[in-house]
Amino acid sequence: MGLEALKEEIAKALSATVVEPVWAEAAGDLTLHVLPGSLKPVAAVLNGVGFRLLLAVAVVDEGETFRVVYPLCSLERRVKLILMTSVPRQAPDIDSLVDVWPAANWHEREQAELFGVTFVGHPDPRHLLLPDDWEGYPLQKDYKEPEVYRGISTERPYWEDEGCSRSN
């Protein structure tokens, strides 16, 4: 099945959700952009048409918005699809997709912790990487690392004689 036929099949399946798909192709992969409010029903449709493997959940800080990216794979069809949406920086809330793809669990926790995106309905929103009392979101573009954490300096030493410096 070619990409055009796959797009038609997905569009037909999405018609019940009243979502008009916005398609693009990036690096040979099919990319589907959706509004944040339609993310969960679209994810369920994609899972139903064979995209059962969620490869990751990634967030990109675009300044005023966060782009949330879900690379998917259909092993039966031997094709990848990238599902994307954007949420505003001031209210970065989006539905959790753990009930659609259980693999989203730790990916969503990581992105919530590092970017500050809230995955509404996530079954276990605890921190995964950072201490519970960590302030801020380290992968946001405007993040400023604290100089001291729990009385310990966060400055990293650099050894010039080993070829390391701040400029390397």
The CATH code of the domain that includes 88 is: 3.30.460.80
Average pLDDT, the chain: 87
pTM here is 0.84
Q: 142, 94, 83, 159: which is closest to 122 by C-alpha?
A: 94
Per-residue pLDDT tens for 139-166?
Answer: 999 999 888 889 888 887 765 555 665 5
Q: Is residue 63 part of a domain?
A: yes
Q: Is residue 160 part of a domain?
A: no
Return d(Cα 101, Cα 140) in angstroms, integer: 26
Q: Is residue 166 part of a domain?
A: no
State yes or no: pLDDT of 54 exceeds 90.
yes
Q: Is residue 146 part of a domain?
A: no
What residues have CB less than 8 Å from 146, skipping those under 6 apart? 135, 136, 154
**Other C-beta atoms lying within 10 Å of the C-beta of residue 60:** 14
How confident is the model at residue 166, as a pLDDT? 54
